[in-house]
Structure 1
Amino acid sequence: MLPGIGVFGTGSVVKVFIPFLREKGFKIEAIWGRTIAEASDAALELGIPFHTSRIDDVLLRRDVDLIFIMCSPSLHAQIAVKALGIGKHVVCDKPAGLSQSEALKMVKAAQYYPSLISIVNHSLRFLPAFTKMKKELEEGYLSGPISVVDIRVQMGSLLKDGYDWLCDETMGGGILSVVGSHVIDLISYLTHQKAIRVHAVVRTFTTTTKHIKGIRHITAPDFCSFQMELSGGTMVTATLSNHLPGQLCQEVLICGPGGHLVVKGGDLYGCKGHQEEVLYLDEVNAQDTSSVADFIPRPYIKGLQKIIDALREAFQPVEDKRGWINEPVSRAATFDDGLYVQAVIDALKISSKKREWTRVIVMTEEPDPNPLLSAAVRATAISI
């Protein structure tokens, strides 16, 4: 039996994936909004029976067993940790919180409740072109180790008419967090390597718009170019920009001694020697995406569809009682993956400010909030 779903968020992505959920047989029981007016409008538009602006009103509902967190990143960790603690499955949008400290809390909660699904919405993992690319890499298409990864993403502005979290870097807005998190996760997923050190240029060129001006200014970056040195020796270059209105232009190129693989949009091409071949063509359009293509790129929509397919399979009855509910979503990014992505984002921001190569350090313990007091306690313990 499919679980009832509680949704946190009322933005564009929510209005896209709820029809997908219903098509697969899921029932949307409740929706949360930042204000009661936002929640009421979304519930009316989407036909959801219960709405609220109180987090616990959704989490404590008995008919809700699966939580979709699609709101401001500032609330991701709080909702995810509480949901897992009361036995709810969680799908969290990217990034996993605003900092490594928040992401680490999510990781520890997921480790404490391993029987519950806890995944991050890095939907590019599920895009068929990247699934095929990963398979070709693992089967030795490049005839050797990966030497270079080059990624270019050009798209329109992420900003809306009004001021919200997408305008503020400290609240998780900007192309580095919103799109770069997908790119960073995809690199580790395809290469099985982690970043050792990074070098970045992160900039905010658009600080005001005709709708956002006056006292408030936009701090979220709309351009990012970075390099990454991976644990296996692979070098990565990536350029992400919000300065191309219209459709997404995304290209992921992976090179090795025997050739290269490249995903352009949703299509995969390969080359050995001098002859390029088509390995996968994206001929199936995502259902009813014409109205949302302006603000959510098609590849991300298609990947999200695949995640929902995997979730449905995860909750189907299993004849073998030893069946593991998480297996159908085993390709999805975990909270551990979300913590790693946050560590890379932190390093990229530091590198851009210091204008130097910066090591990637993944947090394993939360920092001491009062190191001076702790030092005094340790000194007292030693003296005793």
Structure 2
Amino acid sequence: MLPGIGVFGTGPVVKVLVPILRENGFKIEAIWSKILQDAQAAAKELAVPFFTDKIDDVLLRRDVDLIFVLCSPNLHAQISVKALGIGKHIVCDKPAGLNQVDALKMVRAGQYYPTLISVINHSFRFLPAFLHMKKKLEENYLVSPMTLIDIRIQCGSLFGDIDTFDWKCDDTMGGGALNLIGSHIIDLVTFLTNQKAVRVHGIVKAFTKHTHKIKGIRQITAPDFCAFQMELQNGVLVTTTINSHTVGSTFQQEIMICSSTAHLVVRGGDLLGRKGDKNAEEVIYLDVEDLKCPLPNSFLPKTFIKGLCKMVSALREAFLPVNEKAGWIKEPVCSAANFEDGLYVQAVLAAIRESSQTRQWVKVSIMTEQPDKNELLSAVVRRTAISMS
């Protein structure tokens, strides 16, 4: 029997996710928002029977066994840790919390309750094009050793659909291109190559300070542009540019992995490759699969939504009776990003921000234990300085 679901958040991802969950047979039992009126409006729009602005009202419901944490990052750790502690499965949005301190709390909770599903919503891992790319890499399509990964993301404004100033406008609250898109890219590189970054160099900029709806005293501090390089454990260089200044443009992505003799590239949802003396790229996978469920109009990329559909399908399979009876409930979602992956992503994000401030290469340092209060205060001061620079 599929678990009942409690959803934290009422944003665009929630409005896309709920129809996908229902199409896969899940029942959404409750929805939460920090503002009660928002929870009520979302519950009415999405036909959810219960709404609240109190966290425990969702977590303690007996008909809720799977929690989707899709609210602001400052609440990710609080909700996830508490939910795991009372035996609920967790799917948490990216990035894992606000920083490594939050992510480490989530890691510890996940380790303490290993039988529960605890994953991060990096849905690109489930996109067919990337699964085929990973397989081709494992089959040695590149022939010679990998040398370079070049990633370019272009999209419209990250703030165009926001009516009032909220966390997505504030860098210190988890908003902006680096957190919302860069976190996906950092995770995807590790998923495809099984390699992690050892040092980074980057620049993070908040060019847009106001929009026609967000104006006055408060300014947008969340970055709308970032470019960074990552040196992986095997010496491969990753170059990434995320640009949200393409006016009226839809989401475009190009992820190219190169060797001296061949390359693989995902453009949108298609995978192409070229090697040897071939004059043109060959089509390895063409994304012609239609989404099976009706979705509301959304600015979210089609590739993200399709990956989300595939991830939800994997979750459904995980909870089928045959898996529960056999005791391998996690097997269908074993390729999903876990909380340890979320901690690594936070470490890379922190290093990129520091590099943007110092204009130097910065070593990626993954936290293994909680810092003392003085270290936490210093980290907050550095983060604030970076967001204001």
TM-score normalised to the size of structure 1?
0.94
Aligned 8 A contact 1:262 1:269 in 2: yes
Post-superposition Cα deviations, 1:230-256, rounded to whole Å, max 9, x if no partner, equal 001100100001111331110000001
The alpha carbon displacement at 1:323 in A equals 3.4
CA distance, structure 1, for counterparts of residue 234 and residue 82 of structure 2: 37
Q: CA deviation at 1:163?
A: 1.0
- 1:200-279 alignment to 2 at 5 Å? 200-244=202-246, 245-275=248-278, 276-279=281-284
CA drift of 1:257 comes to: 3.1
Rounded to whole Å, the distance in 2 between the matches of 1:147 and 1:364 is 30
Gaps of 5+ in 1: 372-384
Whole-Å Cα distance in 2 between the matches of residues 321 and 328 of structure 1?
14
After TM superposition, the structure 1 = structure 2 runs for residues 234-383 of structure 1, keeping only pairs within 5 Å, are 234-244=236-246, 245-275=248-278, 276-287=281-292, 291-293=296-298, 295-318=299-322, 321-369=325-373
Alpha-carbon displacement from aligned partner over 1:208-264 (angstroms, at most 9, x marks no partner): 111111111000000001111000110010000111133111000000133000000
Structure number with greater Rg is 1
Aligned counterpart, 1:145:
145
Asked if structure 1 preserves the Cα contact closer than 8 Å seen for 2:209 and 2:219, the reply is: yes
Report the CA distance between 1:287 and its aligned residue: 4.1
Cα distance in 2 for residues equivalent to 1:71 and 1:315 = 24
Instruction: Give the Å deviation of 1:292.
Output: 3.2
Query: What's the offset of the Cα at 1:288?
Result: 5.9
Residue 128, structure 1, aligned to residue 128, structure 2: yes
8 Å CA contact retained: 2:225, 2:244: yes
Q: Is the 8 A contact 2:23 2:293 kept in 1?
A: no
CA deviations 1:11-48 (Å, max 9, x no partner) are 11101010010111100000001111000000011111
The percentage of counterpart residues that share the same residue type is: 62
Query: CA-to-partner distance for each residue in 1:63-101, whole Å, 9 max, x for gaps?
Result: 000000001011001000000000000000000000100
SS of the residue corresponding to residue 151 of structure 1 reads strand
Contact 1:5 1:27 in 2 (8 A): yes
Residue segments in structure 2 that go unaligned for 5+ positions in a row? 376-389
Farther off after superposition, 159-168 or 189-198: 159-168
Is the Cα–Cα contact under 8 Å of residues 197 and 232 in structure 2 kept in the other structure? yes
CA distance, structure 1, for counterparts of residue 198 and residue 157 of structure 2? 30
Q: How much does 1:193 deviate? A: 0.5
CA contact (8 A) 2:224 2:243 kept: yes
Quote the residue 2:378 is aligned against: none
Give the C-alpha shift of residue 145 in structure 1: 2.3
User: SS of the counterpart of 1:356?
Assistant: coil
Letter in 1 for 2:274: C
Q: Is the 8 A contact 1:286 1:298 kept in 2?
A: no
Q: Deviations over 1:161-203 (max 9, x none)?
A: 2211110000000000000000000001101100000000110
Q: Is the 8 A contact 1:96 1:102 kept in 2?
A: yes
Runs (4+) of structure 1 moved beyond 3 Å? 287-293, 319-323
Number of the residue aligned with 2:381: none
The aligned counterpart of 1:191 is 193
Is the CA contact (8 Å cut-off) linking 1:196 and 1:360 kept in structure 2? yes
Contact 2:19/2:293 (8 A) holds in 1: no
What does residue 50 of structure 2 align with?
50
CA distance in 1, matches of 2:188, 2:34: 31
Point out the more displaced range, 333-342 or 255-264: 255-264
SS at match of 1:232: coil
C-alpha root-mean-square deviation of aligned residues, in Å?
1.3
